[in-house]
Structure 1
Amino acid sequence: MTPSTSTAERQPPDKATLHCPECGHESRINGDWIIRVRADSLTYACPNCDTVIDSRRNREELAAGSCGSLGFAVEN
């Protein structure tokens, strides 16, 4: 018997995929999620049912998680 070599069987699950607990929708973190950016938070919501999937409120965490694409003005 020959071992399977399909790509789907060899690769581990994608850690950058979010899953909606309400409707089961799934997509990569940079996929079709509704992203609401506010001065002090970033929220990911499901495009199908609007359930909040992730909400980040720490400025340092937001900046670090954006790989340098998000910055905050220094408060005086």
Structure 2
Amino acid sequence: MTPSPSTAERRPPDKATLYCFACGHESRINGDWVIHVRADSLTYECPACETVIDSRRNHEALAAGSGGSLGFAIEN
């Protein structure tokens, strides 16, 4: 039986990690997720079971969540 790491050795979960609620797959947000980018939405799909785990449809939320690497042209 392998002893579990002490509290000091355990790292807190990474805030940039996504978890699939259907199959338990986990990976960083920029990991192996299948990302569908459309004009008005961004959808993260699990590569193991194809479950959609996150879908963002608000332009401001999409741009903010991308760390500034995603922009939208808004027509007047």
Given the two structures, how large is their TM-score scaled by the length of structure 2? 0.84
| Equivalence for 1:55 | 55
> Matches of 2:16 and 2:23 in 1, distance apart?
19
Q: Which structure 1 residue ranges, 5 or more long, are not aligned?
A: none
What is the TM-score of this pair, normalised by structure 1? 0.84
Q: % of aligned pairs identical?
A: 77
Runs of 4+ in 1 over 3 A off after TM superposition: none
Unaligned runs of 5+ in 2: 1-5
The answer on 1:64 being equivalent to 2:58 is no
Output the amino acid matched with 1:32.
Answer: D
Name the SS of the counterpart of 2:30 in structure 1. coil
What is the RMSD of the two structures over their aligned residues, measured on CA atoms? 1.2
Name the counterpart of 1:23.
23
Give the superposition deviation at 1:48: 0.7
Structure 1 position 74, deviation (Å): 2.2
Give the CA deviation at 1:66: 0.8
Say which SS state the counterpart of residue 63 (structure 2) adopts. Answer: helix
